[in-house]
Amino acid sequence: MDATTTGEGNFTAVDGPRLVAALRGVLLADALLHAREDLVPYECDGLSAYRQVPLAVALPHDEAQLVAALKVCREHGAPVVARGAGTGLSGGAMPHARGVVVSLARFNRILRVDPLGRTAVVQPGVRNLAISEAAAPHGLYYAPDPSSQIACTIGGNVAENSGGVHCLKYGLTVHNVLRVRAVTLDGEALELGSAALDAPGFDLLALIHGSEGLLAVITEITVRLTPRPETAQVVMAAFDDAGRAAGSVAHIIAAGIIPAGLEMMDRKAVEAVEPFVHAGYPLDAEAILLCEADGTPEEVADEIAGVQEVMATSGAQDMWVSRSEAERLRFWAGRKAAFPAAGRVSPDYYCMDGTIPRRRLAEMLGAIAQMEKKHALRCMNVFHAGDGNLHPLILYDANLPGELERAEAFGAEILELSVALGGTITGEHGVGIEKIDQMCVQFAGPELEAFHRIKAAFDPAGLLNPGKAVPTLHRCAEFGRMHVHRGELKFPDLERF
C-alpha cells in the first residue's frame, strides 16, 4: 500500500534527489543507503503484508549524526521512520514512500552495567536478550521477554511498550525502564525519567513508551535489572471445558497467587502443536493451562502446591508438574511453537492481539466458536491468560476465493468484541499501520484529537512516523479493515507467542 494515500500528511513535494544529496552532506558514506537494491531489505518489518521502499535509509553512528540527518529531513519536509531490528508485528516500522528510514542498528553498544545499582545503560539497537546476557554474570537479568527477544531491540521494545510471557508478575517495558534519552525532530535531546526512581515534571517516560516512533527518536535507555529467580517450575493442567480453564485462571488470582506466567491453549492449538513439538500435551483436553512459579525453592514449592490445589478444585482433570528444567522447557516449547504450528496446519493465518478482562475469557471463547461457524473458518486460541491478552489465530487459505475477506471480517469481529467486553484492540503488538482502523472503534474523536495534539507538542512538523498508530478523524470516517498473511510473516524462525 502507498503510505502517501493514508490521508495523514501530504509529502509529495519532497524532492528525493535533493534530499539524498543533503543527507550525503551530513552522513558518512557508509551511513547512507539510497540505491534501490539497498533499500529493499528495509521495505517492511515483521508485518510484511505492508511494504514500501523509502527514498533513503540513514544508519547514523552516533547522536550527532542522527541529529544532523533529522535536521536535513526537517528542512526537506521528509517523513522519518525510526527502525530497530524490524521484528514488530504491526507495521510500525514500515517506511514512508517519500521519507527516510533511520536505522538505529549502529547504536548497538551496552554502555554500562551497574550490578550494585541493578541498572544497565544501553543504546537502542541493543538486542533485548543481549542485556540479560550481559547482566547474567551478576545474577541479574532484564525481565520483559517478548517472544522475539533474541532479535528485537530495546529501542523497539520501548517504542512498542513490549510485553512477554512474564509481564503479569514482572511488568511491561514501561515498568522496567528508568530513563530514555531521545532526540526530537528539531534535534533537541530530551532526558525522560532519570537514573533515580522518578523525575521532576510530567511522566514523559510513560508517554514515550508505546509511542511507536511518533514523538522522538530514542538514542539511549537505562533499564532496571532484576535478580534472577533461583528456580522455576511449571504446572500443566488439562480441562474438559475451556470455560472451566478460564474460571481456573480467575480462581488462581483470587487465591492471591501471581504466577510468573499463566498461559492457555485450546484444543485446536494443542492439536496443532503436539505432533510438531512433542511437548507431552494431552490431546483429549478441551483446553490446557500452563502456570509457572519462580523464586526461591521454598516460594516455588509453596506456590506450585497452591496452584495445584486451586486447579484441582476448579475442575482440572489432570495435572503434571515439571520435574526438571528440561521438562519445564519442554512444557513451554509447545506454547512457544503455536505460531509456527498454525503455519503448518494452514496455508495462512491471521493473528489477533486483543486484551479482555479475564472474567470474559469464556464468553470470548464461546463467541469465537460461533464466529468460526459464521465465517466458516477455524480459529486456534492461545492466550496470555493471566493478563487477558488473546492471540487467536484465524486459519485460512488466501488462494481460496473469499477466505481472506472472511478472515478479515472474523478478525475485525474479535477486535470489536474485545473493545465491547471492556478490553483493547492491542495488548502488546502495537497499532502501527495494521490496526489503525480499529483505533476508530476503541477511541472517540476527542481522544484521537488529544493524541494528535500530544504528537504536535513533540513533533510540530508531523514528520515522525506519520500515518501510524493514531488515525485521523478523516480516516476513521472511511473505516476499512486490514489483515496479515502467514506466508508473509518475516522471521519464521523466531518464536512468536
Partner 1 sequence: MDEHVERELTERIQAAAGSRTPLRIRGGGTKDFYGLALEGDILDTRGCRGIVAYEPTELFVTARAGTRLEDIERALAEHGQMLAFEPPHFGAAATVGGCVASGLSGPRRASAGAVRDFVLGVKLVDGHGQILRFGGQVMKNVAGYDVSRLMAGALGTLGLLLEVTLKVLPRPAAERTLRLEMPEDQALAALNRWAGQPLPISGSCVFGQEVMIRLSGAAAAVAKARESLGGELVSDGPAFWEELREQRLGFFGDGVPLWRLSLPSTTPPLGFPGEQLIEWGGALRWLHTWDRADRIRDAAVRAGGHATLFRGGGEEERRVIGVFQPLPTALADLHRRLKQTFDPAGILNRHRMYEAW
Interface positions, 160-199, toward partner 1 (CB under 8 A): 160-161, 163, 167-168, 171-172, 174-175, 184, 188-191, 194-199
**Do residues 94 and 52 touch, judged by C-beta distance below 8 A?**
yes
> Nearest approach, Cβ of 28 to partner 1 (angstroms)?
27
Could you say which of 53, 110, 150, 257 contacts partner 1 (CB under 8 A)?
257
Distances, alpha carbon 245 to alpha carbons 166, 241, 248, 289, in Å: 19, 7, 5, 7
Could you say which of 25, 41, 422, 480 contacts partner 1 (CB under 8 A)?
422
> Nearest approach, Cβ of 221 to partner 1 (angstroms)?
15
Among the candidate windows 101-109, 133-141, 315-323, 363-371, which touches partner 1 by CB under 8 A?
Answer: 133-141
Distances, alpha carbon 260 to alpha carbons 165, 232, 354, in Å: 8, 9, 21
Among the candidate windows 262-270, 317-325, 342-350, 384-392, which touches partner 1 by CB under 8 A?
Answer: 384-392
Could you say which of 25, 41, 117, 280 contacts partner 1 (CB under 8 A)?
117
> Nearest approach, Cβ of 161 to partner 1 (angstroms)?
5
Q: Is 426 helix (H, G, I), strand (E, B) or coil?
A: coil
303: contact with partner 1 by CB under 8 A: yes
The C-alpha cell that represents 218 in the structure block? 530514542
HSE of 436, CA atoms in CB hemisphere, 13 A: 26
- Of 20, 2, 1, 4, nearest to 12 by C-alpha is 4
Site for partner 1 in 359-378 (CB under 8 A): 359
Among the candidate windows 6-14, 111-119, 274-282, 403-411, which touches partner 1 by CB under 8 A?
Answer: 111-119
Among the candidate windows 39-47, 142-150, 250-258, 483-491, which touches partner 1 by CB under 8 A?
Answer: 250-258
Residues 449, 93: Cα–Cα separation, whole Å: 23
30 burial level (CB within 10 Å; 0-12, 13-18, 19+) = exposed
Among the candidate windows 19-27, 246-254, 271-279, 312-320, which touches partner 1 by CB under 8 A?
Answer: 246-254
> Nearest approach, Cβ of 244 to partner 1 (angstroms)?
15
473: contact with partner 1 by CB under 8 A: no
- For partner 1, what does the binding mask look like between residues 212 and 241, x meaning CB under 8 A? ---x-----------xxxx-----------
Residues 316-319: contacts with CB under 8 Å, at least 24 apart = 316/237, 316/238, 316/239, 316/248, 316/289, 317/237, 317/238, 317/239, 317/240, 317/285, 318/237, 318/238, 318/282, 318/285, 319/235, 319/236, 319/237, 319/238
Q: Is 377 helix (H, G, I), strand (E, B) or coil?
A: coil
325: contact with partner 1 by CB under 8 A: no
- Give the residue with the Cβ less far from partner 1, 470 or 489: 470
- Give the residue with the Cβ less far from partner 1, 54 or 467: 467
> Nearest approach, Cβ of 351 to partner 1 (angstroms)?
15
Residues 330, 263: Cα–Cα separation, whole Å: 14
Spatial CB neighbours of 226, under 8 Å, sequence gap ≥ 6: 118, 140, 141, 142, 143, 170, 176
Could you say which of 7, 282, 315, 357 contacts partner 1 (CB under 8 A)?
357
Residues 444, 416: Cα–Cα separation, whole Å: 14
> Nearest approach, Cβ of 231 to partner 1 (angstroms)?
10
Locate cell 521484528: which residue? 87
- Of 316, 298, 165, 297, nearest to 235 by C-alpha is 316
467: contact with partner 1 by CB under 8 A: no
Could you say which of 103, 355, 381, 472 contacts partner 1 (CB under 8 A)?
355
- The conformation of residue 438, written as its DSSP 8-state character, comes to T
Among the candidate windows 10-18, 28-36, 97-105, 134-142, which touches partner 1 by CB under 8 A?
Answer: 134-142
What are the percentages of helix, strand and coil residues in the chain, rounded to 5?
Answer: 40, 20, 40
For the sheet containing 177-183, what is the strand order? 110-114, 119-122, 217-224, 177-183, 189-193
- The conformation of residue 393, written as its DSSP 8-state character, comes to E
> Nearest approach, Cβ of 158 to partner 1 (angstroms)?
12
Site for partner 1 in 141-160 (CB under 8 A): 160
Site for partner 1 in 436-465 (CB under 8 A): 439, 442-443, 446-447, 450-451, 453-454, 456-458
Contacts with partner 1: how many residues (CB under 8 A)?
Answer: 92
Could you say which of 94, 104, 204, 264 contacts partner 1 (CB under 8 A)?
204
Could you say which of 48, 233, 381, 389 contacts partner 1 (CB under 8 A)?
389
The C-alpha cell that represents 101 in the structure block? 528510514
Give the pairing of strands 318-321 and 287-295.
unpaired
256: contact with partner 1 by CB under 8 A: yes
Spatial CB neighbours of 175, under 8 Å, sequence gap ≥ 6: none
- Give the residue with the Cβ less far from partner 1, 276 or 479: 479
435: contact with partner 1 by CB under 8 A: yes
The C-alpha cell that represents 492 in the structure block? 519464521
- Give the residue with the Cβ less far from partner 1, 110 or 183: 183
431: contact with partner 1 by CB under 8 A: yes
> Nearest approach, Cβ of 370 to partner 1 (angstroms)?
23
- Give the residue with the Cβ less far from partner 1, 322 or 426: 426
> Nearest approach, Cβ of 7 to partner 1 (angstroms)?
18
For helices 361-375 and 403-420, the axis angle rounded to 10 degrees is 160
